[in-house]
C-alpha cells in the first residue's frame, strides 16, 4: 500500500522545507519516493543530497533521438522511459529522489507526458510513501499531472492571499474530479497563533486546518550556511510541527 | 529441479533498491552489458549447458556493479529467425519471476539487480541463474527443443562480444523499419489530444506515425498491451478499400466512432477528400500550393513566414482542431521516412518546398535526384518565385514525370 502526499500552495510558503521534513521523517517509517516537481529543483538541497538527472532532460533526449532517427523502432518508448527513470533515481537511506526538472519547450508533449506519468505512477507503487513537492501555482492540478493523490497538503503563509490561493486549489481539485482523498491546510510561519482574520477566512472556505507551524528561527541560519533542512534541531518548531502533522493526518 | 529461491509471476514488478542490493549487472554504472538470443542448429547446442565466464556472484563485493553478457542459444524445429527478438524479450519477464532478481531494459541497456535476501538464501552463482532461466524458457516455450546459456562478467570479453551484438541489433532494426501495413492486422488509434481536438483520432500504422511524432506502431502496441482501456487502443484494419489512398474499413469505423460521427471516412495516405484529421500538436504541416498544384512542408520550429507569406503558427490555426482539412495536414516529421508518405498524391516527388533544416535532416530519404529540386527558404521566399525555380531545376512534378497510384 502506497500513500501519496502532494505538498502544494502559493510560492514562498515553505513547500520544499515541509516536503523535505516529510520525506526525512516518513523515511523512518517506510521507504519514500520523493518527487521534486518544482522546476527550480531545490528539494535535493533541502534533503542534503546532490542534484541528479531530471525527467525533463530524459524527455528531451528521447525526443532528440527520435527526431534524428537514432531511436530503435523495436524499443517501446514507454519501456525506455521506465528504464531511464529508474536509472535517474537517486537512492539514499530510506528514500529515493526523482527530480522532474524544467517544463517542456515548444511543441507537443501530451504523449511524452502521458508516458512519463504512467512510468512514475508505476514506480510509486513500490514505495510505502510518495511525497511530491509541487511547483507553485495550479498548473499541475489543472493538467492533471498530479493524480491519484491520497493527501493534498496545501501550505499557506500568514496572508489572506495564501489562504485564498489554497481555496482556489481546493475548488479546482473538486471541479476536475481529480482523485484526491483528503485536502488539508497547513499554515506555516505563524507568529503568535492565528490572527482572527486568518482564522475567519480558513473557516469561510471550510478548510481542515491540520497544523499551524511557528516561524522557525533555526531555518534562516541553515539557509545562510546552505545546510539541509533535515539538520533542523530536534525541538525546532518546523520539525515538531511536521511531526505533529504526520500524526494528525495519520501517515 | 530445486533452486535456492522461489520462482513465479508474483515476483514481477519487485524493485530492489540500492540498500537491499547484493550486486548489480549492467545498468548505468557498467560500461558494457547486453543480452542476446541466437537461433542455432541443434547440433551446435549442448542442451541445458550453462557456462559462466569471469567472476561469479560469490566473488563479488557487496554493492558492486559488473558488466554482463547473457548469450542464449536456442534450437527447435518450429523456431524462426524472426522470433529471436521476441524470445529475447522474454528474458525480462523470466528474470523478474526470480525472487530477489530485478531486470530492467533490454539489449545493450540491460540492468539486473540481485537482493541481499536472495543471496543469503543461497542464490550466489550465475550458474544457478542460468539454470533457472533454462527451466523457465523450456517450460514456458515448448518450441525450444535445445537451449544453452553463457553468462559473461569479464569486462574485456563483454566488450568484445558487445561489438558483435550491436551489429545484430542494427540488422533487426533495419528489418523492422521495413514493416508495412500489409504485414499487420492491427493498427492503433490514439485520442490523447481529444481534450484539445474532440473529433481527432490518430490512426497509427507501421507506415504512419502519430502526428505528434511521439507514438509509432510499436509504441501503440506496447501502450495498448499495458493499458487496453487507455487513450491508445487497437484498430482492426478491416478491408482495404483503396490501396492508393490508404482507406480501410476498420479505420473508417474507428474514426466514425471516435469523432462521434463527425467523419466516417479517412484516407491515411492522401491530403485530399478525406485526409487524416489534425490535432494541435503535429510537428509539421503539409500544405497545398495551388499555383503549382504541389505541396510544401513547414515544421514547428521554422521561424518567420513560409513562401505563402504566413508563419507556422498562423497556418496551424487553419490545420488544427481535429478537422479534416483538404490540402492542409498536420504530420510528424518522421512520416517523411514512410514509403506511403502521401502516396496517393505523388509523395515526396510532389513536394516542392521545405525548410533547409528539414531537407538536411531527411537527406537520406529524399531521393538524390530530387534533393536539389526541392526549394528551401534560401531558394524561394515567395510563391511567385516558385514556378521559375521549379522550371529551372526541372522538378519532376512540374515536368509531369510523377505517376499517381490512383
Hey, is the C-beta of B1 within 8 angstroms of any chain A C-beta?
no
CA distance B208 to chain A (A): 13
> How close does chain A come to B285, measured CA to CA in Å?
13
Measured between beta carbons, which residues in chain A are less than 8 angstroms from residue B109? Answer: 83
Domain ranges of chain A: 3-249
Q: Does A114 sit within 8 Å of B190, measured CB to CB?
A: no
Question: Would an 8 Å CB–CB cutoff place B221 in contact with chain A?
Answer: yes
- The pLDDT of residue A116 is 80
Chain A residue numbers with beta carbons less than 8 Å from the beta carbon of B222 are 76-79
Can you tell me the mean pLDDT for A85-89?
A: 91
What residues in A contact B15, CB-CB < 8 Å?
123, 126
Percent with pLDDT over 90 in chain A: 54
Number of other CB atoms surrounding residue A196 within 10 Å: 8
Non-local (6+) Cβ contacts of A99 within 8 A are: A35, A36, A41, A43, A44, A51, A52, A53, A54, A55, A88
What residues pair up with A7 in beta bridges, in sequence order? A133, A153
pLDDT-derived band at A177, boundaries 50, 70, 90: low
Do strands A129-133 and A90-92 pair parallel, antiparallel, or not at all (unpaired)? unpaired
pLDDT at residue number B83: 83
Q: In CATH, what class is B181-393?
A: alpha beta
Q: How many angstroms away from the CA of B262 is the closest CA of chain A?
A: 23
Residue of B nearest to A93 (CA): B19
Q: Where in chain B is the domain with CATH 3.40.970.20?
A: 181-393
Q: Is B226 on the interface with A (CB under 8 A)?
A: yes
* Mean pLDDT calculated for residue range A188-217: 92
A140 — pLDDT class (breaks 50, 70, 90): low
The whole-chain average pLDDT of chain A stands at 87
User: What is the third-level CATH fold of B9-177?
Assistant: 3.30.1650
- B192 contacts on A by Cβ (under 8 Å): 110-111, 114
Q: What is the pLDDT of residues A110-123, one digit of tens each?
A: 677 777 888 888 88
Q: Which residue of B has its CA nearest to A63?
A: B214
Non-local (6+) Cβ contacts of B335 within 8 A are B208, B209, B341
The pLDDT tens digits for B202-229 are 999 999 999 988 788 988 887 787 678 8
Quote the CA–CA distance of A180 and B248 in Å, as a whole number.
42
Grid-cell match 500552495, residue found: A9
pLDDT band at A193 (very low <50, low <70, confident <90, very high): confident
Let me know: does A43 contact A19? Beta carbons within 8 Å: yes
Chain B residues with CB inside 8 Å of A69's CB? 334, 337
Residues 6+ apart with CB under 8 A from B192: A110, A111, A114, B231, B232
Q: At residue A164, does pLDDT exceed 80?
A: yes
**pLDDT band, very low/low/confident/very high, at A143 (cuts 50, 70, 90):** low
Q: Of A177 and B71, which is predicted with more confidence?
A: B71
DSSP state of A235: T
Please tell me what DSSP assigns to residue A202.
H
Give the dihedral sign, CA B75/B77/B81/B86: negative
**Nearest-neighbour CA in chain A from B136: distance (Å):** 23
**What pLDDT is attached to residue B138?**
95
Minimum distance, in Å, between the CA of residue B250 and any CA atom of chain A: 24
Gap between the Cα atoms of B338 and B208, Å rounded: 7
Distance from CA of B385 to the nearest CA of A (A): 30
Residue A194 to residue B260: CA distance in whole angstroms? 54
Backbone angles phi, psi at B111, to 5 degrees: -150, 115
Chain A residues at the B interface, defined by Cβ less than 8 Å, are 31, 63, 66-69, 72-80, 82-83, 86-87, 91, 93-94, 96, 106-108, 110-112, 114-115, 118, 123, 125-126
CATH 3.30.1650.10 occupies which residues in chain B? 9-177
What's the rounded mean pLDDT across residues A130-150? Answer: 73
Percent of chain A residues topping a pLDDT of 70: 92
Say yes or no to pLDDT of A203 above 90: yes
Contact (CB<8Å) B218/A75: yes
CATH of domain A3-249: 3.40.50.300
Residue A216 has pLDDT above 80, yes or no: yes
- Banded pLDDT at A105 (limits 50, 70, 90): low
Grid cell digits, residue B118: 536472495
Q: What is the pLDDT of residues A26-58, one digit of tens each?
A: 999 999 999 998 888 899 999 999 988 898 899
Cβ separation B111–A83 shorter than 8 A: yes
B215 and A75 within 8 Å at the Cβ level: the answer is no
> What is the count of residue pairs from A and B with beta carbons less than 8 Å apart?
98
Q: Which residues of chain B have pLDDT under 50?
A: none
Cα B192 to its chain centre, rounded Å, is 18
Give B-chain residues touching A67 at CB under 8 angstroms. 213, 333-334, 361
Q: What is the 3-state secondary structure (H, E, C) of chain B?
A: CCCCCCECHHHCCCCCCHHHEEEEEECCCCCCEEEEEEECCHHHCCCCCEEEECCCHHHCCCCEEECEEEEEEEECCCCCHHHHHHHHHHHHHHHHHECCEEEECCHHHCEEEEEHHHHHHCCCCHHHHHHHHHHHHHHHCCCCCEEEEEEECCHHHHHHHHHHHHHHHHHHHHHHHCCCHHHCCEEEEECHHHHCCCCCCEEEECCECCCCCCCCHHHHHHHHHHCCCCCEEEEECCCEEECCCCEEHHHHHHHHHHCCCCCCCCECCCCCCCECCECCCCCEEEEEECCCCEEEEEECCCCCECCCCCEHHHHHHHHCCCECCCCEEEECHHHHHCCCCCHHHCHHHHEEECCHHHHHHCCCCCCHHHHCCCECCCCCCCHHHHHHHHHHHCCCCCCCCCCCCC
- Angstrom distance (rounded) from CA B65 to CA B113: 9
State which H helix or E strand residue A52 sits in: none
Residues of B in contact with A82 (CB under 8 A): 104
Chain A residues with beta carbon closer than 8 angstroms to that of B188: none
Nearest CB neighbour to A74, from listed B19, B85, B301:
B85
pTM score of the predicted model: 0.74
- Chain A residues in contact with B85 by the CB 8 A cut-off are 74
Give A245→chain B minimum CA distance, Å: 28
B54 lies within 8 A of chain A by CB: no
Residue in B110, B214, B226, B232 to test binding to A, most A beta-carbons within 10 Å: B214
Q: In this predicted structure, what is the pLDDT of residue B295?
A: 98
**Chain A hits for B311, Cβ within 8 Å:** none
* Beta pairing, strands B111-115 & B186-190: unpaired
A6 pLDDT more than 60: yes
Amino acid at each position: 500500500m502506497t500513500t501519496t502526499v502532494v505538498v502544494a500552495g502559493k510560492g514562498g510558503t515553505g513547500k520544499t522545507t515541509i516536503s523535505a521534513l516529510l520525506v526525512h521523517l516518513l523515511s523512518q517509517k517506510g521507504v519514500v519516493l520523493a518527487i521534486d516537481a518544482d522546476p527550480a529543483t531545490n528539494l535535493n538541497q533541502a534533503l542534503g543530497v546532490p542534484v541528479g538527472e531530471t525527467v525533463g532532460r530524459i524527455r528531451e533526449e528521447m525526443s532528440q533521438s527520435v527526431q534524428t532517427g537514432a531511436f530503435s523502432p523495436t524499443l517501446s518508448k514507454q519501456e525506455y522511459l521506465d528504464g531511464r527513470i529508474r536509472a535517474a533515481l537517486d537512492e539514499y537511506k530510506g528514500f529515493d529522489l526523482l527530480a522532474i526538472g524544467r517544463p517542456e519547450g515548444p511543441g507537443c508533449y501530451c504523449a511524452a507526458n502521458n508516458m512519463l506519468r504512467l512510468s512514475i505512477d508505476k514506480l510509486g507503487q513500490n514505495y510505502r510513501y510518495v511525497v511530491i513537492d509541487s511547483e507553485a501555482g495550479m498548473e499541475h492540478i489543472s493538467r492533471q499531472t498530479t493524480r491519484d493523490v491520497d493527501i493534498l497538503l496545501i501550505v499557506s503563509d500568514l496572508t489572506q492571499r495564501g489562504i485564498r490561493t489554497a481555496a482556489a486549489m481546493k475548488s479546482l481539485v473538486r471541479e476536475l474530479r481529480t482523485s484526491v482523498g483528503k485536502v488539508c491546510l497547513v499554515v506555516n510561519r505563524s507568529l503568535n497563533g492565528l490572527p482572527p482574520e486568518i482564522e475567519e477566512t480558513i473557516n469561510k472556505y471550510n478548510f481542515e486546518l491540520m497544523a499551524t507551524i511557528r516561524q522557525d528561527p533555526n531555518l534562516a541560519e541553515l539557509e545562510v550556511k546552505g545546510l539541509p533542512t533535515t539538520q533542523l534541531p530536534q525541538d525546532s518548531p518546523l520539525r515538531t510541527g511536521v511531526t505533529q502533522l504526520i500524526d494528525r493526518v495519520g501517515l | 529441479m530445486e533452486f535456492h529461491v522461489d520462482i513465479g509471476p508474483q515476483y514481477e514488478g519487485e524493485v530492489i533498491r540500492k540498500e537491499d542490493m547484493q550486486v548489480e549487472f549492467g545498468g548505468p554504472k557498467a560500461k558494457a552489458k547486453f543480452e542476446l538470443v541466437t537461433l542455432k542448429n541443434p547440433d551446435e547446442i549442448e542442451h541445458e549447458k550453462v557456462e559462466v565466464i569471469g567472476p561469479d556472484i560469490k566473488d563479488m563485493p557487496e554493492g558492486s556493479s559488473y558488466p554482463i553478457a547473457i548469450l542464449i542459444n536456442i534450437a527447435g524445429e518450429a523456431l524462426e529467425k524472426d522470433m529471436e527478438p521476441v524470445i529475447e524479450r522474454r528474458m525480462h519477464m523470466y528474470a523478474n519471476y526470480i525472487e530477489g532478481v530485478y531486470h530492467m531494459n533490454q539489449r545493450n541497456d540491460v540492468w539486473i539487480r540481485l537482493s541481499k535476501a536472495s543471496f543469503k538464501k543461497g542464490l550466489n552463482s550465475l550458474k544457478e541463474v542460468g539454470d533457472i532461466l533454462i527451466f523457465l524458457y523450456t517450460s514456458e516455450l515448448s518450441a525450444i527443443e535445445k537451449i544453452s546459456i553463457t553468462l559473461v562478467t569479464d569486462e574485456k570479453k563483454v566488450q568484445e562480444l558487445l561489438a558483435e551484438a550491436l551489429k545484430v541489433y542494427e540488422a533487426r532494426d533495419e528489418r523492422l523499419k521495413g514493416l508495412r501495413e500489409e504485414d499487420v492486422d492491427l493498427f492503433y488509434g490514439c485520442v490523447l489530444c481529444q481534450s484539445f481536438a474532440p473529433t481527432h483520432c490518430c490512426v497509427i500504422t507501421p507506415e504512419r506515425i502519430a502526428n505528434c511524432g511521439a507514438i509509432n506502431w510499436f509504441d501503440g502496441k506496447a501502450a495498448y498491451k499495458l493499458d487496453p482501456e487507455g487513450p491508445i487502443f487497437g484498430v482492426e484494419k478491416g478491408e482495404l478499400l483503396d490501396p492508393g489512398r490508404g482507406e480501410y474499413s476498420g479505420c473508417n469505423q474507428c474514426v466514425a466512432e471516435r469523432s462521434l460521427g463527425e467523419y466516417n471516412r479517412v484516407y491515411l495516405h492522401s491530403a485530399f477528400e478525406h485526409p487524416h484529421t489534425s490535432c494541435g500538436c503535429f510537428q509539421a504541416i503539409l500544405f497545398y500550393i495551388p499555383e503549382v498544384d504541389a505541396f510544401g512542408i513547414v515544421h514547428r520550429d521554422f521561424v518567420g513566414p513560409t513562401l505563402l507569406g504566413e508563419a507556422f503558427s498562423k497556418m496551424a490555426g487553419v490545420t488544427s482542431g481535429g478537422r479534416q482539412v483538404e490540402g492542409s495536414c498536420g504530420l510528424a516529421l518522421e512520416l517523411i521516412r514512410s514509403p506511403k508518405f502521401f502516396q496517393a498524391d505523388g509523395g515526396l516527388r510532389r513536394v516542392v518546398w521545405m525548410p533547409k533544416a528539414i531537407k538536411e535532416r531527411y537527406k537520406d530519404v529524399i531521393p538524390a535526384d530530387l534533393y536539389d529540386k526541392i526549394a528551401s527558404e534560401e531558394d524561394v521566399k515567395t510563391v511567385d518565385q516558385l514556378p521559375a525555380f521549379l522550371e529551372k531545376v526541372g522538378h519532376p512534378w512540374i515536368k509531369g514525370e510523377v505517376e499517381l497510384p490512383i
